Amino acid sequence: MQPKNLSRLLRALARQGLDVQYLDGTYLVRWKHQADSPIAEVLLPESFPVEAKALKQLANLAVVKHPRGGHVCRVCATPDFHPGDSGVANTLRVSQRQRVNC
């Protein structure tokens, strides 16, 4: 069962424009105003804590676009993902031509 403060956190993130769902042990994250962006996924047991900043950074990673038209196709994070100084750590981003581990 998810802790009570998680429900509060998810409501607060929703007010900031972040759509976060928790289904079958996986967090699904994306910005509401970027409905065409890929959904970032985090496989995380419900007993593990999540950080708002990390979820926001993950959603930001999913909307990255290249000036020449490239875009992110998929974003996944490992259970030990956490916010970083320049972006979320322990993630995998797949774009049209490359795979980038962060």
Nearest in space to 16 (alpha carbons), one of 52, 63, 69, 65: 52
3-state SS assignment for residue 23: strand
How is the chain split into domains, by residue range?
A: 4-101
pLDDT per position as a tens digit, 6-57 = 788 889 999 999 999 988 889 999 999 988 888 999 888 878 888 888 899 8
Please give the Cα distance from 37 to 42 (Å, whole number): 16
3-state secondary structure of 53: helix
**Structure tokens, 98:** 């490359």
Backbone phi, psi, residue 59, to 5°: -65, -40
Confidence (pTM)? 0.77
DSSP 65: B
